[in-house]
Structure 1
Amino acid sequence: MIKLKSNMFRPLYKYRANDKYLIDLITKSELYFSSPIDFNDPFDSNLEILNAVGKEEIIEHYRKTVKPSDDFFSNILEKSLNDKSVFEIINSTLKKEFYKWVNEAAICSLSKTSHDLLMWGHYTNCHKGVCLGFDPSLLETSLGTIYDVKYTKPVPKINIYDNPTDAVIEFFCAKSNHWKYEKEVRIIQGKVGPYKFPKEALVKIVFGVKCDDKEKVKIMELVYNSGYQNVDFFQSFTDKKYFRLLGQKIRLIDNKIDNYKK
């Protein structure tokens, strides 16, 4: 199981464009869980499932769960399993049920970093949006276990029989090395839709380099008016020496941005 191993005191981040979905996130205190079917990586949550179970595994599992006096039935089971069609039916049924659950599942993706240039470009309307920081311990308490995404070059093959729970997590949390820069973590739920988080969980908002000052004021006022009390605001800006982003803490005074460093 690849549960989040990072420091649980460091925020986890959600990159967002400045749109109605950002407004809903703030005003309703909701994070949206999406179907992996809609993700932008064709390999994402689309891995090969191995034949779930073989003859020996079925017999061994049966013998572990029945009384010793039931050897008669074990022998009957062993003989019936010589029919190849029995395996096909069992494996087909297991895979069908697994994929049914997969198709109904939903994921919320976050990142361990708030200053990745590519993610700012991809997910915030070219640096015009924001990056929201959340307290991971409060998210985990309210939304469920947070799992690290495992980046790999070979495509994993999933065995759902040995440990179904671990198989589900690996299925949803394995991605190509090409995406490693995202430093992604995921929360898994059983249904697509918005899920409430406690207001205390939102602890930080970073504005993009190209975010307009009027939009910053609007978002900061929206945060205050929505009842958040422990959110720090930061402005991203480009480093003069290296291709990287830096941040400066800012505040709102008389409807104006204060301590904005360029």
Structure 2
Amino acid sequence: MQSPSESDASSQTTPPRLFKYLHSDRIDVLEACKICFSSSLNLNDPFELKPPVRLYESDESMWAMVDELLPALIEETLAELPPPFRNQATKRQIESRARAQLLSKDNGFLKILKELTPALHSRFNQVMENRVGILCLTEKPDDILMWAHYACSHEGFVIEFDPESVFFNQRRSAKDEFRHLRPVKYSNVRPSLIFDNADMKAMLTKSEHWSYEREWRMMVDLNDATTVLSVHEKTYHLFEFPSSCIKSVILGARMPQAIRAKFLELIGENSMLAHVSCYQASTDDVLFKLNIDPT
């Protein structure tokens, strides 16, 4: 099986194959064709979906917005005054007082924004935790660390998905930032989520420590889950997917024989999985690498 590990996750072109590492006890993903989209509370990265929050990209953009809104506010104020006071001198006075108020250190616009930001940040984090689910996939089926971390120390398995499946492209409009696959970027700097533009890079950026994962992700509204489970005080949201988007299954190099037999039986006897190829991972005799061969 050819590894796609040389493809570039920074490209917007979706790779021809994407993979999900799983523990061996998650055979239910194959049996029920339901997969978990995780809340950030259940992910191992404490920075996940918790970007710094800013209302405006810069002071310049903030004041540009003020300058855009101020003329209309001044005209509204003038319209409320008696006719004799509706003149240019009064208009200049109103504008001068408005700008002085906005710049006031005690109760000006900047002070109000500064006070609002922590509350806004807290509320944003709460909404992200409760509403946004992430499915994390990777370009690499043969990464030794990911087999160790996410596939039960090589006792688990990997599912190969077809990124072209309609399941991975459920956008409701051209501007929909959710319900389709996106590449994750890696950086040492945490990008801010800025409310005065539609840039989603803060939701798609992780520390460079995670760059070996070469992740692609799909975000959804957890309220759309097919099934919701509570296990050990954690909540898991399962989403049904068509079996046709599974291309292959790779069994781990340390998968116990009894569990391996169960997987082979399921793939061999379930008509919904008749198209699925099955591979076996094994350790190379010379190099620190995994070989992935047909079973």
Structure 1 length as normaliser, TM-score? Answer: 0.78
Which residue of 2 is the match for residue 235 of structure 1?
A: 280
Q: What does 1:1-262 align with in structure 2 at a 5 Å threshold?
A: 5=11, 8=14, 10-19=16-25, 22-50=26-54, 52=56, 57-58=61-62, 60-61=64-65, 72-73=75-76, 75=95, 78=99, 80-82=101-103, 83=108, 84-88=110-114, 90-92=116-118, 94-104=120-130, 105-138=132-165, 139-142=167-170, 144-152=179-187, 154-163=188-197, 165-166=198-199, 169-191=200-222, 193-223=237-267, 224-225=269-270, 227-250=272-295
**How many pairs were matched up?**
241
Shift of 1:46: 3.3
Shift of 1:13: 0.8
Amino acid at match of 2:182: Y
SS of 1:102's equivalent in the other structure is helix
- 1: distance between equivalents of 2:114 and 2:126? 18
- 1: distance between equivalents of 2:12 and 2:56? 32
Deviations 1:77-108 (A, max 9, x none): 64543314432355456434432322222211
Aligned CA distance change for structure 1 residues 204 and 64 (closer, same or farther; 3 Å): farther
Shift of 1:161: 2.3
Shift of 1:189: 1.6
Amino acid at match of 2:44: N
Give the RMSD, CA atoms, in angstroms: 3.0
Amino acid at match of 2:288: F
SS of 1:216's equivalent in the other structure is helix
Aligned CA distance change for structure 1 residues 41 and 90 (closer, same or farther; 3 Å): closer
When structure 1 is superposed on structure 2, of 42-51 and 177-186 the one drifting more is 42-51
Shift of 1:155: 2.5
Amino acid at match of 2:189: V
Aligned CA distance change for structure 1 residues 160 and 80 (closer, same or farther; 3 Å): same
Unaligned runs of 5+ in 1: 251-262
Shift of 1:10: 2.1
Which residue of 2 is the match for residue 255 of structure 1?
A: none
SS of 1:240's equivalent in the other structure is coil
SS of 2:288's equivalent in the other structure is coil
Deviations 1:207-260 (A, max 9, x none): 11112333223113323426123211111112222111111112xxxxxxxxxx
Structure 2 length as normaliser, TM-score? Answer: 0.70
Unaligned runs of 5+ in 2: 1-8, 78-94, 171-177, 223-235
Conserved 8 A contact 1:47-1:155? no
SS of 1:243's equivalent in the other structure is coil
- 1: distance between equivalents of 2:216 and 2:264? 26
Amino acid at match of 2:183: D
Shift of 1:174: 1.7
